[in-house]
Amino acid sequence: NFSELESKTEMFETGIKVIDLLTPYVQGGKIGLFGGAGVGKTVLIQEMIYRVAENFGGVSVFAGVGERTREGNDLIHEMVDSGVLDKTALVFGQMDEPPGTRLRVALSALTMAEYFRDVEKQDVLLFIDNIFRFTQAGSEVSTLLGRMPSAVGYQPNLADEMGLL
């Protein structure tokens, strides 16, 4: 219901001092983590999952779009070791899976996050790793369906897919 929407802005306290001080996140907002291999993106994600579970009792949903099997395995073991696996939903469409599977992983994770938010009334942290691979899978599906790519090579329905997400 539109009349029940709140327009106030609240800071999402991650408990990670450098983030809360220098680049605070807005609760309910969207952020992106960009960086090369080995700079600590996954470590930051793991820490945020842990802190949401421990500090807020919330749920984290992680979508691994085109992930390597090793990365998914490492993430699961980290969740078990930190004791937050029961507060985490993990969805993977690995890089060796068909493009349709990889495309749907992010949307499946979004559906799970909406369920936890709307039905279970829990705070939810949704991670999608990696948006580029989501776009790439959409392009592969589009090619398989015989759709003409745009002038820059992306699928003609890229805006629709990103809007859906």
Where in the sequence numbering do the catalytic residues fall?
A: 41, 67-68
138 Cβ contact partners less than 8 Å away, ≥ 6 residues apart = 99, 103, 155, 157, 158, 161
Measured over the CA atoms of residue 11, residue 17, residue 19 and residue 21, the dihedral's sign is positive
Is residue 16 within 8 A of residue 48, CB to CB? The reply is: yes
Distances (CA, A) of 165 to 10, 18, 30, 94, 111: 23, 29, 12, 19, 10
Is residue 11 within 8 A of residue 26, CB to CB? The reply is: yes
Pairing of strands 25-26, 59-65: unpaired
